[in-house]
Amino acid sequence: MDNKTVETISYLARLKLDKDKKEKITKDLENIIDFVAELQDLNTEDIVPLSNPLEKVAPKREDSVTSKNRKEAFLSNSPESDQDYFMVPKVVE
Amino acid sequence: MSWETVIGLEVHAQLSTNTKLFSSASTKFGSEPNTQVDLVDLGLPGVLPVVNKDAFKKAIRFGLAIEADINQESTFDRKNYFYPDLPKGYQITQMTKPIVEGGSIDIDVDGDKKTINITRAHLEEDAGKSIHDAYPDKSVIDLNRAGTPLLEIVSEPEISSAKEAVSYMKALHQLVTFLDVCDGDMSQGSLRCDANVSIRKVGDAELGTRTEIKNINSFRFIEKAINFEIKRQIKVLESGEKVTQETRLYDSGRDETRPMRSKEFANDYRYFPDPDLLPVVISDDEMEEIRSTFPELPADKSRRYISEFQIDESEAEIISSSRELSNFFEVAVESKNDPKLAANLIVGEIGSLLNKDNIKIDESKLSSDNFNILLQRISDGTISKKIAKTILAEIWETGRNADEIINDQGLVQIQDESLLEEVITKVIESNTKQVEDYKNGKDKLFGFFVGQVMKETQGKANPKAVNDLLKKALNS
């Protein structure tokens, strides 16, 4: 786990880390990776990857509209909005 | 140097379900912003997604139609990225175990047939809509579309020209609309495509570096965008440079593609299985139900129309190629109308009215009921086929009942022989020169006399009666 990797993943997660934190997190991440690295020693050749630990399957829903319009409540809970929309800092590519 | 083009398409088909993939909010297009949003679509903590049965049904129906493998157990993964119109910070998609794998679609380019193999088709949710020009320093977000089910259909890189890409897209459009999987409305973004384009020297085994053109939403733009990109890449390569792997946008106003995202950081979506969603299992019974409600596809329809109703092959093909037209035709036939007559009017007169207005039959003012009345009035001899065209034109504008139009405008066909004989006598008397020529062997003039009688009767004369009576009068 080097500095550059930590910078990349903190950017991807939109986390701003100062120098001290970055060093601490690098160490923590190294420990975590070492801990789970033990699994690499196991032979998993004939084992199907587990997508979910529960031995259940997803319930399915009928395709009918039951959700109500709660626009005003939702908009009023957002940091910024106008009458119709959520407002965010300008994002143009 | 000669180059060859390699294209793979990723098509997003918006599934025509009532509700979203994981919530029971409506997917209706064009509603007031942010009125079709559920807690799940907002990604609020503590809520859980529940899959929509119909979205799976439609995806499987598509898979069966292209003879693909259906994964009766499929799973969902998270694709992680930040953008304001994606409230959860990840898109739920099927990376590792998609519902549909394999299969193929046949295309036809100027008579040449080709089969394009399909890699996979997976379910995923759409994002919301960002609007950037409403305020000078803000972007605004409408989440009505967030969570709408999409079927992403990925082709193998087997398409070798812009024309083939268009044919592929048209074949796909026809298929998804017939299957009632997607409404196919490209202007509303129901069917949109990303094109991966690369160029290599003829004979090279390896693929060239590709670029991806995002979100092309019309048949015309697919052709133009790909052709521009092919030319651009050839120019880059011929000048000794390398094509950069990047995402590009097609600007239809300037007819060019240009790079879209800064590549400071390569995209890294960090896919992982979505812990909120259990594997989705489709039972054999459910598969059987989907198979048993499988709709008839265009080629089968066309064959059936020809054998069952003896209509022309070309007419059968035109009618069966459109879901709306074939429904319209089938309703008319089920109501005991003459299939040949119905087919004839649908392809001829109605077809040209549809083309003129560039609409679908169910967007027109002509209802099936009214069409039935019109067909019956032709069959029972009340009106001629020629007058039917006048009536159709009026219905097209006003949507009025055909019987009303016939009565109000006095369009009832003239069958009364004595009335017709009167007109014929008049026509013969005022065209003595033509009568003489006809009697001297100019048979072609017969059509002229029919025309004159029709003119005198404003097209209301029964054509068969006119023929018989005219022959009698002229040969006497």
Write down the pLDDT at residue A20: 87
Chain A residue numbers with beta carbons less than 8 Å from the beta carbon of B247 are none
Distance from CA of B122 to the nearest CA of A (A): 17
Task: Please provide the DSSP assignment of A4-46 as one string.
Answer: HHHHHHHHHTT----HHHHHHHHHHHHHHHHHHHGGGGS--TT
Strand residues in B209-281 grouped as ranges (E): 211-216, 247-251, 256-259, 272-273, 280-281
Q: Are residues B160 and B210 part of one domain?
A: yes
Chain A residue numbers with beta carbons less than 8 Å from the beta carbon of B80 are 12
Extract long-range pairs of B287-294: CB within 8 Å, 24+ residues apart: B287/B60, B287/B70, B287/B72, B290/B57, B290/B60, B290/B61, B290/B64, B291/B64, B294/B61, B294/B64, B294/B65
Q: Are residues B318 and B243 part of one domain?
A: no
Interface membership of A84 toward B (CB under 8 Å): yes
In a domain, B139, yes or no: yes
* pLDDT per position as a tens digit, B310-346: 999 999 999 999 989 999 999 999 988 899 999 999 9
- Would you list the domain boundaries of chain A? 1-43
In a domain, B290, yes or no: no
Distance from CA of B280 to the nearest CA of A (A): 5
Task: Please provide the DSSP assignment of B278-296 as one string.
Answer: PPEE--HHHHHHHHHTPPP
Q: How confident is the model at residue B372 (pLDDT cuts 50, 70, 90)?
A: very high
Q: Are residues B145 and B40 part of one domain?
A: yes
Chain A residue numbers with beta carbons less than 8 Å from the beta carbon of B38 are 67
Do B469 and B424 contact (CB within 8 A), yes or no? yes
Write down the pLDDT at residue B434: 87
Which ipTM score applies to this complex? Answer: 0.90
Q: What is the DSSP letter of B107?
A: E
Domain boundary, last residue among B285, B308, B333: B285
Q: How confident is the model at residue B386 (pLDDT cuts 50, 70, 90)?
A: confident
Domain boundary, last residue among B233, B251, B285: B285
Q: Are residues B178 and B39 part of one domain?
A: yes
Write down the pLDDT at residue B365: 94
In a domain, B291, yes or no: no
List residues bridging with B109 in a β-sheet: B112
CA B263 to CA B194: how far, in whole Å?
18
Do B279 and A58 contact (CB within 8 A), yes or no? yes
Angle between helices B417-429 and B432-439 (to 10 degrees): 90
pLDDT greater than 80 at residue B121: yes
Mean pLDDT to the nearest integer, B337-358: 93
Task: Give the CATH number for residue B454.
Answer: 1.10.10.410
CA B9 to CA B168: how far, in whole Å?
9
Q: Are residues B404 and B421 part of one domain?
A: no
Radius of gyration of chain B (CA): 29
A1-43 adopts what CATH topology? Histone, subunit A (1.10.20)
Domain range for B425: 417-475
Q: What is the DSSP letter of A78?
A: S
Q: What is the DSSP letter of B244?
A: P
pLDDT greater than 50 at residue B451: yes
Domain boundary, last residue among B359, B376, B408: B408
Write down the pLDDT at residue B371: 95
Q: Are residues B123 and B10 part of one domain?
A: yes
Q: Are residues B257 and B112 part of one domain?
A: yes
Q: Are residues B317 and B182 part of one domain?
A: no
Domain count across chain B: 3
